[in-house]
Amino acid sequence: MRIANIDNRAALVIGDEGAERGVDLARASQGRFGPELPAVYQVWGDVTTWVSEQDLAALADDGFPIDRSLLGAPSPAPRQVFAVGLNYHAHAAESGFESPTHLPPVFTKYASSFTGPDTDVIIPAGGNVDWEVELVAVIGREASGIGEADAWAHIAGLTVGQDISERVSQLRGPAPQFGLGKSFSGFSPQGPWLVTPDEFANPDDLELGCTVDGDQVQKGRTRDLIFPVSKLIAALSHTVTLYPGDVVFTGTPAGVGVGRDPQRFLQAGEKLDSWIEGIGQLHQRFVADPHAK
Ligand code: ZN
């Protein structure tokens, strides 16, 4: 099952790539679920059971073509957002760090930086803006102290995320400033929709990548995650309680701009296109800060 945030309303996504149709969940369920996404995650198990009992082809007949400009982040108002650094060996190496053994570094991206999949992003004045394509997991069931074997059962689904990062403020010191450096307006595009784990042949092995103006800069597979999704969710749940709708950015593969020689950052007018196999694409266009002197 796929579910989208269309104009702040939960919608099922039905149909093949390029011909997807949206079905408003609140209307289709006669008001039982939704209309907004946060309410849907609170009763995620009931939603998936109800959807499994529906005739999706019949629902799609009553659906509507999806206008991508109306798409928002699949979980737009999580109680908590987790982001993970150094979770692929090659990316840890290009960043000049040892690979993590106990837990990767965990920080947050503030939800005010969340957007849908297709956006313009302002480059902060004087900033070095970098790309980080990431698999994003959304929690579907409260999790505290769970084991790895139970982790997937606590995940509503997966989506594509970009952990866009401004490296000057992130790394200026005296200590790294991850939360703010990665939370400028529009720095957390996600989408185009959430895909439930059962839709994948293997949700632990998905190709992901991104291009800048058509040049491929990142390409990896989630099987290379040092802490795979299940291990990461279980480990987080041993410190914090994870709530339905919480968002977890799982880390980026190698190929970020700050790790290149020479370094490369996004310029006004450039396009960043990101994708994950079996989920879909994000499209960002970068623009100059209109307030820059
Ligand atoms: Zn990241």
pLDDT for 118: 98
Asked whether residue 291 carries a pLDDT value surpassing 90, the answer given is no
pLDDT for 166: 97
Asked whether residue 245 carries a pLDDT value surpassing 90, the answer given is yes
Expressed in angstroms and rounded, the spacing between residue 156 Cα and the centre of ligand 1 is: 21
CA atoms within 13 A of residue 254's CA, in its CB half-sphere: 12
Q: Which amino acid is at 101?
A: T
Expressed in angstroms and rounded, the spacing between residue 205 Cα and the centre of ligand 1 is: 18
Q: b or e along 207-231 (b: 16 or more beta carbons within 10 Å of the residue's beta carbon)?
A: ebbbbbeeeebbebebeebbbbbbe
Max distance between CA atoms of the chain, in angstroms, equals: 59
C-alpha span between 178 and 165 (Å, rounded)? 8
Asked whether residue 292 carries a pLDDT value surpassing 90, the answer given is no
**Residue 4 · residue 41 · CB < 8 Å:** no
- List domains and CATH numbers for the chain: 2-66 (no CATH), 73-288 (3.90.850.10)
Residues with CB under 5 A from ligand 1 (ion): 132, 163, 252
- 181-219 pLDDT, tens digit each: 999 999 999 999 999 999 999 999 999 999 999 999 999
pLDDT for 17: 87
C-alpha span between 219 and 66 (Å, rounded)? 28
pLDDT for 125: 94
Both tokens assigned to 89: 């060996």
pLDDT for 173: 87
Q: Which amino acid is at 34?
A: G
Expressed in angstroms and rounded, the spacing between residue 18 Cα and the centre of ligand 1 is: 28
Asked whether residue 293 carries a pLDDT value surpassing 80, the answer given is no
pTM exceeding 0.75: yes
Expressed in angstroms and rounded, the spacing between residue 163 Cα and the centre of ligand 1 is: 5
| Secondary structure (3-state) at 180 | helix
Expressed in angstroms and rounded, the spacing between residue 251 Cα and the centre of ligand 1 is: 5
Asked whether residue 80 carries a pLDDT value surpassing 80, the answer given is yes
Expressed in angstroms and rounded, the spacing between residue 61 Cα and the centre of ligand 1 is: 39
- 52-75 pLDDT, tens digit each: 999 999 999 989 999 999 999 999
